[in-house]
């Protein structure tokens, strides 16, 4: 199997999986959608360090999947 399309575009498997999950959640019926959308959110703050000090621009201050 040659390289996956998503790999060639530069996504990792995790990003690909999250994108698929988002698509599935989007296609749910409205009653079930509300609960499912909450599962997709994540709050993570990552900071890159350079020479022992944290650099101000964080790697990914992401709220929401991905």
Partner 1 sequence: MKDDDETEMIIALTSDRGLCGSIHSSVVKAIKARLVEKDDAKLVLVGDKAKAMLQKIHGKKVLGLQDYTRVTMYYNSFKSVVAFRTLKVPLPTKNNMTGAENYNLYDSIDDEVLQAYNEFTLATMVYYGLKEAQCSEQSSRMTAMDSASKNAGEMIDKLTLTFNRTRQAVITRELIEIISGAAAL
Binding site for partner 1 (CB under 8 A): 1-4, 7, 12-14, 17, 48-53
* φ/ψ (deg, to 5) at 48: -85, 140
CB of 30 or CB of 52, closer to partner 1: 52
- Smallest distance, partner 1 to C-beta of residue 49, A: 4
Nearer to partner 1, 32 or 54 (CB): 54
CA dihedral of residues 12, 15, 21, 23 (deg, nearest 10): -100
Helix (H) / strand (E) element for 5: namely: helix 5-9
In whole angstroms, the minimum distance from the beta carbon of 3 to partner 1 comes to 6
């Amino acid at each position: 199997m040659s390289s996956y399309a998503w790999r060639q575009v530069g996504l990792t498997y995790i990003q690909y999986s999250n994108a698929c999950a988002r698509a599935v959640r989007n296609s749910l019926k409205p009653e079930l959608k509300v609960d499912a959308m909450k599962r997709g959110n994540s709050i993570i703050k990552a900071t890159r360090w350079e020479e022992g000090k944290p650099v101000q621009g964080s790697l990914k201050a992401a709220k929401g999947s991905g």
